[in-house]
Amino acid sequence: MLFSSAIFLFLYLPIFLVIYYVIPRDWRNAFLFFASLVFYAWGETLVVLVLLLSAFINFVAGRLIEQGQRKTGLLLSLIGSLSLLVYYKYANFLFNSLQGIAKLLMIPGADEINLAEIALPIGISFYTFQGISYTLDIYWGHIRANRNFLDYGTYVAMFPHQIAGPIVRYADIAPELTKRTVTIEKFGIGAERFIIGLAKKILMANTFAGVADVIFSAPTTSYSTATAWLGIIFYALQIYYDFSGYSDMAIGLGKMLGFDFKENFNYPYIAHSVQDFWRRWHISLSSWFRDYLYIPLGGNRKSRVRVYGNLLLVFFITGLWHGASWNFIVWGLYHGLFLLIERAGLSKLLVRVWAPVAHVYTLLVVLIGWVFFRIENLPDAINYLQKMIGLGPVVTVEAFAPSYFINVETVVVLILGILLATPIHNRFHQWWMRRAPYFPVRLVSDSLYTFGLLALFVTTIMYLAADTYNPFIYFRF
């Protein structure tokens, strides 16, 4: 079940909210846990048992660590959680990779062995990392283990952050699991955030996806260099508005239930270096790798060679986390390589040069990287990159010239997409609050904003009803 689906918006969510606020507060965790399992099982059926098993393993591991069996508990968490992740997400990838190597070596019978496709439980990467961070925080003495499986299970299974993040750490919401309040104001802020996230997904991301998917699925002989650039720009905007839209919806739903999730995106496309990009993009993931992998490996305290090796390892795993395919590994190592180059001295140069130059450099690096992220077949990705620099196959019949995609809708959405990927809205809001300090003016502006928000919601629903194209690009997690 997706947040942007009609069944969630008009059936699941209204019924859930009514029951959630009618029942006594002491029952809310139990209801949230049960409702989250229903939400997860709606499309996953019995695979929900994987989530429950992962939660149980880390709950038991946390109790063992706190009771003094520290290494036993930590090993149980790491081996148990990662075994589930490797089996369900990476078994087919590892088998196919080894089989490919065996075929290259011409090992007899290599192509006679087959492995059935293993269904990937949605969200397994998220709840695996949440469970590991929970036990590591207990091991390091940052938090106490939860003694109530219902409360811990609610944290793991909670549907707002289940399928697309952000990665919520137990320490960040532990107090709210036992005691939380929701005011009308907080509920309203959450509803506002959810509507904005939904609009990002339906109005922006889906529109960008419609163009990007056509270009990326077409042969490179059917479009020009300009169209190739148009495709990757639209895809870059698609993936940003898709993922940040889901994060906004998750944060909004959390507030509506009394939880405060941390921000997951901070205008990554205004970054002036690759390092800056990763401070702004998928913040919950990059900070997780920093705190639970990079720093334990030694962080910046080791020799330069060791630091560079640790960075490459982190970004190798970052790529692999995004999907079980070589193109994701290449994408991760590609970003890791530019981080090494910046650490080697480029970052000092980027600070001194004219800011737009640093910004263009970062955008070019990120856009080229998205080609590897989008195209699973590496030779096809190379062909696309060649097309971007004018070295690709000669265009025989230009079926997809840039003008093919230009209409009022795409132009308007493209302009809005570029503008809203910057903090222009926040700066305008701050400017307006300084210029409209008096109550009557503020009342009128707030009323107009509320009306505009409702109009945005209605428009989004109309688009959702009129268009069945509703892709979810983070299904690999």
- Residue among 123, 104, 217 nearest 168 (CA): 123
The total number of residues written for the chain in this structure: 477
d(CA 60, CA 75): 11
Provide DSSP, 378-406: HHHHHHHHHHHTT-SPPPSS-SS-HHHH-
Q: Is 107 exposed, middle or buried (0-12, 13-18, 19+ CB in 10 A)?
A: exposed
Token representation of residue 112: 């006679």
The 10 Å CB-count burial string (b at 16+, else e) for 63-78 is: bbbbeeeeeebbebbb
Is it true that the peptide bond before 121 is cis, omega within 30 degrees of 0? no
Distance between CA atoms of residues 473 and 457, nearest Å: 22
Active site residues: 322
Cα 245 to Cα 190: distance, rounded to the nearest angstrom: 13
Tokens representing 223 are 């479009």
State both tokens at 338: 């530019």
- CB count within 10 Å of CB 110 equals 15
Q: Is the dihedral of CA 268, 165, 339, 240 positive or negative?
A: negative
Burial of 7 (0-12, 13-18, 19+ CB in 10 A): exposed
Going 124 to 130 to 132 to 134, the CA torsion angle's sign is: negative
